[in-house]
DNA sequence: TAAAAAATTTAGATTAATCTAAAAAAATTA
DNA sequence: TAATTTTTTTAGATTAATCTAAATTTTTTA
């Protein structure tokens, strides 16, 4: 059994590793976990001893196979609880993350498998992120950002790359929800803002800042 | 915010206080929490400083009003989660307790109020125990034990005073569930076992040991 | 490439929660 | 009531997770 803290480190290392070719740095971890570099160094020693990370002093870390499996199981729990909170308890997608941060550490395999069944084996969480399976495997979808779509193209909103409540609430106000159809009418030369036709009904201007964080396919 | 450990102490003091006229003893707490008396002494000092218990050295403890309110809020969460596990996830009543021991510490008032609504504001948990309200108030029902019912009387099974999986599984095998009607046919002079007519259909012999732990009204 | 800057680790503390062993207080018994 | 036993508290350690300050290593810059 691993502590909440250890589980959180694994998860953080997993996320910081995405798309990185080097190991994750001590400072990056200190930032993400709101601790000091010295505390991170300490913890890395312990995680390395337990065989969950590959660690050489001053070099940065990567997860071992076992470490990644565990990280993905925590992420699985996190995302399944987010689905539960959003679909069954009617929480907004801007509210589910903080609560799931606690629920993800509940240790019962049976619980999570039954929850999965109760939710109808969802494949994605409320933010469009894929849910790893019980073996700790997760499909990797490669979506484009709305900001990269050329004029005239029609796409579907499949996810967000920014999960802050402020951003999600902004999308709520704009009426942008997962699954909606977006036709890119025009991209402004001036500020790169995007004029999109939503579900063939109404037109909306989306700032470049927002467009960068909208994932589409 | 209180730690899991502190919350567990409050809950344990609450349970050990029921029906006691003296304060709860250090040793009783050490037994219930699987720690040593020295550790309990330590913790009691801290809880007293925080105004959650009334504590004088060598005297034993009682909860303050605030301590009792907090204990009941933890119990509220525990019991609501038990209902969720049993009713929504199809866990047996012998399985829900251990999982609820973890879930009861999730800190989100909104979560628990939404869970309550989702479950249809249940008044009792899967073991027949009443669920405290959001203010930390709990109705106290006084039920009798099946072992105290006189021959010829018909009663309804409303709860259990023993919550071990072994006991609950035993009741499952015997087909004894909450709400079933029990007519006491005869009490054996020899071993105090009770012959009961269940739901007017079949007769069952219940040992005194079991009868003592069945609550009825 | 040597000096300066940045990143990382080590040293030494701190805090919550626990422990064992010893001391002290309360309760029981003779 | 005095001696004995039981209960409880204190003293002093330990462990996980954290911190600040200092030392060390790596990276960048001049
Ligand atoms: Mn999340
Ligand atoms: Mn999510
Ligand atoms: Mn329970
Ligand atoms: Mn219960």
Domain segments of chain A: what residues? 4-63, 144-216
Q: Is the CB of B57 under 7 A from strand D?
A: yes
SS3 A185: strand
Give yes or no for A59 touching B (CB within 8 A).
no
CA B40 → CA A38, B8, B22, distances in Å?
33, 12, 17
Q: Do residues B81 and B115 lie in contact, with contact meaning Cβ atoms separated by under 8 Å?
A: yes
Q: What is the pLDDT of residue A44?
A: 98
Joined together, the tokens standing for residue A96 give: 């589910």
d(CA A94, CA A99): 11
Q: Is the CB of B25 under 7 A from strand C?
A: no
Give the bases of strand D that a protein CB approaches within 7 Å: 7-12, 16-22, 25-26
- Beta-strand runs (E) in chain A: 53-56, 60-63, 144-145, 154-160, 181-187, 194-198, 202-206, 214-216
Mutate to test the interface with B, among A77, A86, A89 (most CBs of B within 10 A): A89
B166 CA: distance to closest CA in chain A (Å): 19
Q: Do residues A86 and A97 lie in contact, with contact meaning Cβ atoms separated by under 8 Å?
A: no
CA A123 → CA A80, A133, A167, B126, B154, distances in Å?
9, 9, 23, 31, 52
Nearest to A102 among B85, B107, B114 (CB): B107
Q: How far apart are the CA of A98 and the centre of ligand 1, in A?
A: 7
> A192 CB contacts (<8 Å, ≥6 apart)?
A147, A208, A211
Q: What is the pLDDT of residue A79?
A: 98
Same fold, A4-63 and A144-216: no
d(CA B115, CA B99): 16
A63 CA: distance to closest CA in chain B (Å): 28
Q: What is the pLDDT along chain A (217 residues), one digit of tens a residue?
A: 899 999 999 999 999 999 999 999 999 999 999 999 999 999 999 999 999 999 999 999 999 999 999 999 999 999 999 999 999 999 999 999 999 999 999 999 999 999 999 999 999 999 999 999 999 999 999 999 999 999 999 999 999 999 999 999 999 999 999 999 999 999 999 999 999 999 999 999 999 999 999 999 9
Beta bridge partners of B60: B56
- Return the CATH superfamily for domain B144-216: Ferrous iron transport protein A (FeoA) (2.30.30.90)
CA A131 → CA A77, B54, B125, distances in Å?
8, 48, 31
- Residue A85's nearest CA partner among B83, B89, B114, B105 is B114
Residues A102-132 pLDDT 10s? 999 999 999 999 999 999 999 999 999 999 9
Q: Is A210 exposed, middle or buried (0-12, 13-18, 19+ CB in 10 A)?
A: buried
A129 CA: distance to closest CA in chain B (Å): 22
CA A45 → CA A9, A42, A55, A56, A180, distances in Å?
12, 5, 8, 9, 46
Calculate the dihedral angle through the C-alpha atoms of B163, B164, B170, B175, rounding to the nearest 10 degrees.
30
SS3 A51: coil
Half-sphere exposure in the Cβ direction for A77 (13 Å, CA): 22
Which H or E run includes A190? Answer: none
CA B15 → CA A137, B11, B33, B159, B203, distances in Å?
43, 6, 12, 16, 35
Instruction: Decide which of 3.30.428.10, 1.10.10.10, 3.40.640.10, 3.40.1710.10 is the CATH code for A4-63.
Output: 1.10.10.10
Q: Is the CB of B23 under 7 A from strand D?
A: no
Nearest to A99 among B89, B95, B111 (CB): B111
Most distant CA atoms of chain B, gap in Å? 58
Q: Is the CB of B43 under 7 A from strand C?
A: yes
- Residues, beta carbon < 5 Å, ion ligand 2: A 82, 125, 127, 129
Q: Residue B101: count other Cβ atoms within 10 Å of its Cβ.
A: 15
Phi, psi angles (nearest 5°) of residue A207: -65, 155
Which H or E run includes B195? Answer: strand B194-198
Distance A25 CA to D20 C1' (A): 21
């Amino acid at each position: 059994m691993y502590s909440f803290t250890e589980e959180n480190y694994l998860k953080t290392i997993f996320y910081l590793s995405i798309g990185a070719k080097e190991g994750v740095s001590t400072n990056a971890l200190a930032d993400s976990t709101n601790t000091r570099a010295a505390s991170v160094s300490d913890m890395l020693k312990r995680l390395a001893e337990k065989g969950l990370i590959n660690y050489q002093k001053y070099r940065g870390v990567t997860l071992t196979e076992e470490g990644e499996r565990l990280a993905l199981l925590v992420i699985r729990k996190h995302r399944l609880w987010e689905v539960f909170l959003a679909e069954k308890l009617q929480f907004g997608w801007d509210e589910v993350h903080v609560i799931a941060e606690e629920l993800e550490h509940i240790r019962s395999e049976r619980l999570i498998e039954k929850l999965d069944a109760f939710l109808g084996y969802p494949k994605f969480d409320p933010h469009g992120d894929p849910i790893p399976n019980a073996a700790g495997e997760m499909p990797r979808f490669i979506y484009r950002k709305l900001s990269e779509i050329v004029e005239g193209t029609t796409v579907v909103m499949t996810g967000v790359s920014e999960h802050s409540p402020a951003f999600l609430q902004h999308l709520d106000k704009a009426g942008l929800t997962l699954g909606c159809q977006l036709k890119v009418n025009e991209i402004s030369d001036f500020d790169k803002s995007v004029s999109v036709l939503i579900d063939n009904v109404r037109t909306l201007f989306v700032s470049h800042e927002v467009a960068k964080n909208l994932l589409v396919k």
